[in-house]
Amino acid sequence: MKVLVVGANGQVGQHVVDQLHAAPNVTVRAMVRKEDQQKALLQRGIDAVCIDLEDDIANIKRAYQDIDAVIFTAGSGPNTGADKTVTIDLDGAVKTIEAARQAGVKRYVMVSSFDTTRKAIQAAPEGFKPYVIAKHFADDWLRRSGLDYTIVHPGRLTNDEGTNQVQIEETVDAGDISRGDVATVLVETVQNDHLIGREFQVIGGKTAIKDAVKTFKYSV
Ligand code: NAP
């Protein structure tokens, strides 16, 4: 299986790339937006493409050749305005979903926000609202895409050392999770077809990630 990581230079993305690179039976292609990022990956023997999420779908699709699955972990981050929230977190995500459809890449794992329900939009503080709206509609686009999707809703991300232990449920109480552990959840999720068409919240917990992903049961 070859996995395209969108947002591969991000804090979660770098963990995902490293873990996929080290994993047996899986290969990785990193999608980054700067040539020096691409060069550094290529020097480490990691397949990498340089494509900006503000490019059109035809250009984004160039990253999808020989790809079996996509992990989307890009984001505009906290230091840009609502304009980039729309162009990256919403439209960037939608373009990668459409590129997957056009390229015939069925499996797609989305890093969403913890709670992207309409209720969460209404409850969000003013400055955070555009981000929750963007993630709400990106998630919804993916659900309706016909792709073999899984949507992962992590709690507040930390840079703590990963514990390799999490709690995965349809809904959990808000909590923290390390970026390394989120990456491990993504790497396991993309290889577990029973999670196709499913979504879950995840925070740090007491169950080994491999087991938590394998045994997660959806109520409906
Ligand atoms: P991050 O470090 O900010 O990484 C985001 C990545 O997206 C960066 O590598 C960035 O590229 C890339 N990106 C931004 N604009 C782009 C563009 N135009 N074209 C291509 N790539 C672009 O974020 P993170 O900490 O890894 O988190 C991953 C995602 O988790 C977040 O984006 C967020 O949606 C989600 N999340 C966050 C939290 C939280 O508590 N913070 C909680 C739940 C979910 P550069 O490296 O070049 O800047």
Contact 27, 47 (CB under 8 A): yes
Residue 88 in tokens:
């990256």
Residue 202 located in a structural domain = yes
Residue 69 located in a structural domain = yes
Residue 220 located in a structural domain = no
Atom from ligand 1 closest to the CA of residue 12: 26
Tell whether ligand 1 has an atom less than 6 A from the beta carbon of residue 10.
Answer: yes
Residue 205 located in a structural domain = yes
CATH number for position 40: 3.40.50.720
What pLDDT score was predicted for residue 217? Answer: 85
pLDDT-derived band at 145 (thresholds 50, 70, 90) equals: very high
Residue 210 located in a structural domain = yes
Atom from ligand 1 closest to the CA of residue 14: 26
pLDDT-derived band at 98 (thresholds 50, 70, 90) equals: very high
Tell whether ligand 1 has an atom less than 6 A from the beta carbon of residue 111.
Answer: yes
Domain that holds residue 187: 2-215
What pLDDT score was predicted for residue 219? Answer: 77
Q: What is the pLDDT of residues 152-169, one digit of tens each?
A: 999 999 999 999 999 999
What pLDDT score was predicted for residue 57? Answer: 98
Residue 111 in tokens:
């890093």
Q: How many domains does the chain divide into?
A: 1
pLDDT-derived band at 30 (thresholds 50, 70, 90) equals: very high
Q: Whose CA is nearest to atom 43 of ligand 1?
A: 113
Residues in CB range of 130: below 8 A, 6 or more apart: 82, 85, 86
Residue 151 located in a structural domain = yes
Q: How far is CA 30 from the centre of its chain?
A: 13
Tell whether ligand 1 has an atom less than 6 A from the beta carbon of residue 53.
Answer: yes
Catalytic residue list contains 131: yes
Residue 13 located in a structural domain = yes
Tell whether ligand 1 has an atom less than 6 A from the beta carbon of residue 180.
Answer: no
Residue 173 located in a structural domain = yes
